Amino acid sequence: MNDSNKLHPQKFEITYHCFTSTIFNEVNFKEGKLILNHFFSGEEIVPDNAQWEKFWKKMEKLEVWNWKREYENIDVLDGCSWSLHIEYNGQKIKSEGSNHWPENFKEFIRALKDLTDFDVTKEVKLELTTSDSDSENHVQSAITTISFPRDLEGLEYLVEKNEDFPIDFYTDMDVLLSSDVVFNYIKEYDGQDHYNWTAPRWMSEGDILFYYHSLSSINSSKNVFKESKEAHAPERIIENAEHGMEIADKYAGKIFGCSKISGSTQYFDYYPQHFRGRNFAPINEVHIFENPVDIKEFSEFLKITRGGTITPISRDDDFQRLKELLSENNELPDYLKTAQIGNNNFRNVGKDNWREVSCSINSSFLYEDQIRSYLIDYFLKEIKDNSTRLYEECDCFRDSKMTGTADYFMKLNSTWVPVEAKVNILSEKDIHQQLSKYLHIDSFRPTLRNKEQKEFEVFNPKFALIIDQSGVYIYNEGEFVDCEPGQPLWPRVVMSETDKIRKKLISYLEEFS
């Protein structure tokens, strides 16, 4: 065995996932190479002996081999999770965490970056090829994990939340498994054709959400059943706990259903859900698979995120493999049969074709940098005043105090106008509070491409633009003008008409000046 092999690990698996963004990074060692997989694609690297030797010395210095088996913050469920499993030279470490880390975790990440030239804690920017087809059923997809409550209080909360539904048991699993009854009830009493469920903020109408019942539900349901008996809880609580054990026996560790997203994800500060995350999407057409697929059948290509709610399915190969597994013993709903991951493909986007690609109804944006680079930058450069600069990341000042950082400032009809970029305005906690930081200010200073640290005076701006993947909004004096969140003044499909939009914007600006 040569020196190179002696420095190679016997096992090397590292994951870092965040559920409020598109951080979904993994590092694996296979056949002498490190395989780096991120949200959109992957790459292979081969560290040299010196890099491996440096890494192992750092592992010893940081005492990573002595990390605890688990680090967890139970007060946060929608955040970031990580795991590592490393075996080398007779030593072994398996450790994982959810929103909690060892004290020297950042130093370990730096050592890993020295080895791989890849920071697993950072978001990877998407660059793919464009698609020529508008007829394909392009979607985004994710798996959402449903767990049985960890304690009696959690079960009591679920029963109280769901007890108005005309079903026999009241956990969230029961709501999904009895979705036909639940949806008929909602339609009859609320006039709605959907139910809100935890989803990533980047999901929108037509996307597909799969449902997975956590393996931990087996023990959780048993523990809560025991706790409910010992506490002499009401009979309906004990019955729900006992039923939870039956549900876990049948569905735990399996993907058991899917649904269609019927609208954009929204932020609900008050929404009475079991997760502490506050981004929810309307779901309908829930389909329960007669024969659920066990995690053992898909774990080779899809890793369920630990400690969080959302596992993105970002690669169409993985999506199609999951569909194949499900279709072997199940009838698929029509919306799933023809679906494929995409179309968020922007590598070849430029000033000559951004209208056709980025304004297309089939194009999806997953994060803010993406929508800025491939849509908003081009749009603003065409509607701003000629021979003026478009400034980015602008610190705003009021009475010499910094109030916030606007995404852009542009000159429109010789007036400075702040512009805020979002992926989905509906998923923002308080868009009014954010915009108030850029209005009624005295000056702004760009932080990008501004070596001279030049500061620009503004005359008490009251007018702003907001752009998300739905389109363009006008905001003036604390109110949306002729539009509202989710219903832009100019939908994205007409943002290509920049001359018309510029003229109309100037008329609004003159009206409010």
CATH code for the structural domain at 3-116? 3.30.1560.10
Residue spans of the domains in the chain: they are: 3-116, 137-341, 354-512
DSSP SS3 for 334: helix
| C-alpha span between 494 and 336 (Å, rounded) | 29
pLDDT at 453: 82
Strand runs (DSSP E) across 141-248, as ranges?
141-146, 195-198, 208-213
Tell whether the model's pLDDT for residue 134 goes beyond 60.
Answer: no
Which residue, 277, 331, 288, is CA-closest to 176? 288
378-402 pLDDT tens trace = 999 999 999 999 999 999 999 999 9
- Residue-wise pLDDT for 332-358, tens only, equals 999 999 898 865 566 678 888 999 889
Burial of 181 (0-12, 13-18, 19+ CB in 10 A): middle
For residue 215, give the nearest of 152, 146, 293 by alpha carbon.
146
Instruction: Please give the share of the chain, as a percent, with pLDDT higher than 70.
Output: 89
Nearest to 209 by CA among 250, 274, 256: 256
- Token pair 């899809």 in the structure block, residue: 302
* pLDDT recorded at residue 235: 96
Residue 3 pLDDT > 50: no
- Phi/psi for 30 (5° steps) reads -150, 125
Query: What percent of the chain stands above pLDDT 90?
Result: 52
**pLDDT attached to residue 368:** 79
Q: Most distant CA pair in the chain: distance in Å?
A: 79
Q: Cβ distance 211 to 252 under 8 Å?
A: no
Q: pLDDT (tens digit, 9 = 90+) per residue, 58-81? A: 999 999 999 999 887 765 555 678
Q: Is the separation of the CB atoms in 140 and 207 below 8 Å?
A: yes
**pLDDT at residue 360 tops 70:** yes
Q: Give residue-wise pLDDT tens across range 194-242.
A: 788 888 877 888 899 999 999 999 999 999 999 999 999 999 999 999 9
- Tell me which H or E stretch contains 91: strand 91-98
Checking DSSP bridges between strand 415-421 and strand 11-18, what pairing results, if any? Answer: unpaired
Q: Which amino acid is it at 34? A: L
Instruction: Count other C-beta atoms under 10 Å from residue 416's C-beta.
Output: 20
- What is residue 156's three-state secondary structure? helix
- Return all residues near 225 (Cβ < 8 A) that are at least 6 apart: 238, 241, 242, 244, 245
Average pLDDT over residues 162-168: 93
Element (H, E) at 385: none
Of 483 and 277, more confident: 483
Res 277: pLDDT: 57
- Residue 345 CA neighbour count, 13 Å, CB half: 16
Q: Kindly report, residue by residue over 455-496, the tens digit of the pLDDT.
A: 999 976 788 999 998 999 999 988 999 999 988 999 999 999
28/37 Cα distance (integer angstroms): 8
Residue 41's pLDDT is what?
A: 53
Contact criterion met (CB below 8 Å) for 216 and 149: no
Band of the pLDDT at 128, cuts 50, 70, 90?
Answer: very low
CB atoms within 10 A of CB 287: 21
253 sits in which H/E element: none
Whether the Cβ atoms of residue 223 and residue 230 lie closer than 8 Å to each other: no
Closest CA to 114 of 187, 207, 208, 47: 47
For residues 219 and 198, give the distance between their C-alpha atoms in angstroms, rounded to a whole number.
23
Residue with tokens 């200010």: 441
CB 475 within 8 A of CB 465: yes
User: Is the pLDDT reported for residue 308 higher than 90?
Assistant: no
For residue 482, the model assigns a pLDDT of 93
**Position 129 pLDDT exceeds 60:** no
Mean pLDDT of 1-20: 74
* Helices assigned H by DSSP within 332-440: 334-337, 354-358, 368-371, 377-383, 431-436
Distance CA 89, CA 6 (A): 8
Q: Which residue has the tokens 């054709």?
A: 193
- Burial annotation 129-168 (CB, 10 A radius, 16+ → b, else e): eebeeeeebbbbbbbbbbbbbeebebbbebbebbeebebe
pLDDT score recorded for residue 24:
66
**183-195 mean pLDDT:** 83
Q: How many CB atoms lie within 10 A of CB 172?
A: 21
Q: Are 215 and 253 in contact (CB under 8 A)?
A: yes
User: According to the model, what pLDDT value does residue 23 have?
Assistant: 64
pLDDT for residue 135: 45
Mean pLDDT of 159-181: 93
Looking at residue 33, its pLDDT comes to 86
Compute the mean pLDDT over every residue in the chain, rounded to the nearest whole number. 86
